[in-house]
Each structure stands twice: as C-alpha cells, then as structure tokens.
Amino acid sequence: MSTPTTITSTPKPETLHQKHKPSPLETFLKEPIREDLLLETQLLLLTFLTGIQDASTWPDYTCFASNQTGNAIFLAIGLTSPNPPQSQSQSLSYSFPNITTSLTLFVAGALILGQTGNALGIRIRGFLLLTNLIQTLLIFAAVAIQQTYPITRDGLTARIVIGCLAFSSGAQVAMARSLGMTEITTAMATAAFVDVVSDPGDEETSFDKL
C-alpha cells in the first residue's frame, strides 16, 4: 500500500519592499488646507498686522517693510530726480538706501518662498507651517536687533532690521496669493510684485482651465 503524501505549503518569503504607511503626523502635514471662514480670518488678521508693522517702520526708518507701492514711488523719485538721492531723501524725509533694501529683500522673499511653495505644494499644510515659521523667526530677529542696538534711521543695523522684516513680508504675501483668495492679499497693490516672481510658469492659463 502506498502511504499518503502530505502536501505542506511553503511560507511565502516576505517582500523586500514593504509598502510605506504614512504616520498620522505625515498625513496631517501633507493635507491641503480648506478655504473656509477660519482661513479668511487669518488672512485678515495678517493684513491688520502688516499695517501695524509699516506704521512702526516708517517713523524709525522712513520706509515701508511690507507695502512696497510707496517704496516704489519714492525709489522712482530718487532715481529720476536731478538731485542726488541723499539730498533728495533729506528734503522728502525718506531714506533711499533703506527703501532699496526693503524692496530688494521683499522681492527676494517672495521669489524664494514663492517658488519653494510651487515645488512642495502651495496649499500643503507642511509648507504653510514652514514658511510661517521662517517669517516668525525673521521678525523675532529684527526685534532682538532693535532691543540690542540703538535705533538709527540709517546704517548697517537699520538695513538688517528692514531686510528681515521685508523678506518676511515678501514670503507672507507670496503665501497669501498662493491660497487663491485674490481679494485678500495682505499687502494691497504690492501683490503685483509677488505675482511676477512667484508665478509657477504653467503654459496653461487660468482661462484655459475653465
């Protein structure tokens, strides 16, 4: 008589590449934010705080750190005036070097953080946390410098403070514009500068997407 053969199933080898299961924190950071009343309230609060910042920088440094429309006008006056910018600045009570620093660093902040948002995801919660953290650190750095050194209208210290605030403001407006709420830009007509440097460069226009 033939003995019955027992068929045993060989265990399957474990796969070398296990499918990555994202953690709750990773899922949370990669989620896009929603357009709701909370988001509108936050943008309106940023707009209010932007006005406070410019109201404090103009008396000390005679330039704007956020609303670059006024800076662009004063810059054009300084460049086209037959008098040197220094004497013109004294007669019109504005600082030509400070305005140049503010406008340059503002555009740089919008360019760097705006294009970073295009690469990582402009509405992703993780990127929004990152850009707001950078903005907050720059503001704290400006405050620390003001508390450490005497406040003077001109000089290297003044331009560092203005540069920190302007870079932070450029990143803030780039973030606000990327959220798609065009009626809330946090810096009024200054958003035109940000639209140029933070444009993702898509060939398809918004009208083609409709």
Among 23-27, 85-89, 120-124, the minimum mean pLDDT is found in: 85-89
Q: Say if 6 falls within a structural domain.
A: no
Q: Say if 74 falls within a structural domain.
A: yes
Nearest alpha carbon to residue 139 among 107, 158, 162, 117: 162
**The total number of structural domains that make up the chain:** 1
Neighbours of 178 (CB within 10 A): 21
User: How many degrees, rounded to 5, is the angle at CA 186 between CA 183 and CA 190?
Assistant: 90
Which range of residues forms the domain containing residue 104?
35-197
C-alpha–C-alpha distance, residues 101 and 208, integer Å: 38
pTM here is: 0.72
The pLDDT mean for the chain works out to: 78
Q: How far is CA 61 from CA 25, 58, 64, 148, 190, in A?
A: 42, 5, 8, 17, 19
pLDDT tens by residue, 154-183:
889 999 999 999 999 999 888 887 777 665
Q: What is the mean pLDDT of residues 27-33?
A: 76
Q: Assign 3-class secondary structure to 105-139.
A: HHHHHHHHHHHHHHHHCCCEHHHHHHHHHHHHHHH
